[in-house]
Amino acid sequence: MSASDQNNQEPPPQTEPHRTTQTQAHDHAVQPPTAGSDTQTGAPSIPTAATAAAQSSQHPQEGGDAGGGAGEEHEHQPPGSPPLPQKHTPVTPGPRATRFTQLYDLALQRTLQKVSYDNFASCFPTIAVHAPNTLRNVQKQMVDYLEERCNKDFQSILVDRDVIRKLNDFENLVSDAERRRQESGDSAEEPIPPHLLSPDEVLAAHLAPRLVSQQSHLNARLQNTQASNESLFATIQSQRAEIDALLAQLESHVADIDGANAMLVDVAPELAAEARASEAQMSGM
């Protein structure tokens, strides 16, 4: 065997098992754990700082969203419904209110007469020549619209300002003043102006309506009381008459009894003697 063959047949160098194990352990310590290895070994994963910060920032955001949702829900609550308006009660117009509405109707009709077709056509001569029917319809529609709108606004003003009732009150005031003037006559003294009246007179004038109403109420109560007293007096009178009749009847009965007693005075001794004799006979038997 040659030297070259001996060199070729030299055994391979032996590896150091201890060193290899330490190197593998060092490699495992350096490499970060993977998700697969954690799942297989069952070891809990350690959260990083970024993960903790993300979780901590997520919770306040959820709380803020909840608070914002509650605030939005509170803001979107529907408001309470307003109270219904009072129902309007129509008032019968008096002479002045009737004349007022008639005057308004007359003024409105005269105003709308100014919007005639001739005046309207003079403003649109070209359309009046080429399409007179269309222009006439437009003029009629405008007049009808103005009349309807004016009447609606006028009725709204009458209701809002309560014009009819106030005119009726004014009519009553004027008629009352006229009645007082006629009742006083021409020889009546001129009334004193209000600013020259004394405080007591002004106070009495202000209290007069209330006092009159109270006086009428008290008069009504007094009349009712008087009527009740009259009915009670009539009842008492009838009862007294009935008592007098009963007393008269009783006196007649007493007189009859007294007469019977007077008649028995003469025969009473004889009746007593007969009674004693009868008793003696019965006892002797």
pLDDT digits (tens, 9 = 90+) for 80-125: 666 665 555 667 888 999 999 999 999 999 999 998 999 888 999 9
Whether residue 186 is contained in a domain is answered as no
153: in domain: yes
> DSSP 3-state assignment of 258?
helix
What is the dihedral sign for C-alpha 99, 105, 107, 109? negative
Structural domain boundaries enclosing 98: 92-161
Instruction: Indicate the residue type of 263.
Output: M
Task: Supply 13's token pair.
Answer: 């160098």
Residues 6+ apart with CB under 8 A from 128: 121, 122, 135
Assess whether pLDDT exceeds 90 at residue 155: yes
What b/e readout covers 221-244, taking b as 16+ CB neighbours within 10 angstroms?
A: eeeeeeeeeeeeeeeeeeeeeeee
Cα–Cα distance between 217 and 210 in angstroms, integer? 11
In a domain? residue 219: no
Any idea which of 3-12, 208-217, 271-280 has the lowest mean pLDDT?
Answer: 3-12
Compute the distance between CA of residue 155 and CA of residue 15 in angstroms, rounded to an integer.
Answer: 118
* 35 pLDDT above the threshold of 60: no
Q: What pLDDT shows up at residue 37?
A: 40
Residue 194 is predicted with a pLDDT of 82
Examine residue 128 and state whether it is found in any structural domain, yes or no: yes
pLDDT band at 66 (very low <50, low <70, confident <90, very high): very low
What is the structure's pLDDT at 268?
79
At 107, which helix (H) or strand (E)? helix 95-113
Residue 45: left if φ>0, alpha if ψ -120 to 50, beta else—which one? beta
Query: Of residues 162 and 72, which shows the higher confidence score?
Result: 162
Q: Is residue 149 a part of any domain in this protein?
A: yes
Considering its fold, how many domains does the chain have in total? 1
pLDDT over threshold 80, residue 180: yes
Phi, psi of 135 (to 5 degrees): -65, -35
Query: Is 81 domain-assigned?
Result: no
- pTM for this entry: 0.38
In a domain, 188, yes or no: no
- Comparing CA positions, the residue from 114, 175, 177 lying closest to residue 142 is 114
Report residue 93 CA to chain centroid gap: 29
Percent share of the chain, pLDDT over 90: 39
Average pLDDT in the chain: 76
Q: With 0-12 CB in 10 A as exposed, 13-18 as middle and 19+ as buried, what is 8?
A: exposed
Tens digits of residue pLDDT in 37-54: 443 444 344 444 444 444
- Does 24 have pLDDT greater than 50? no
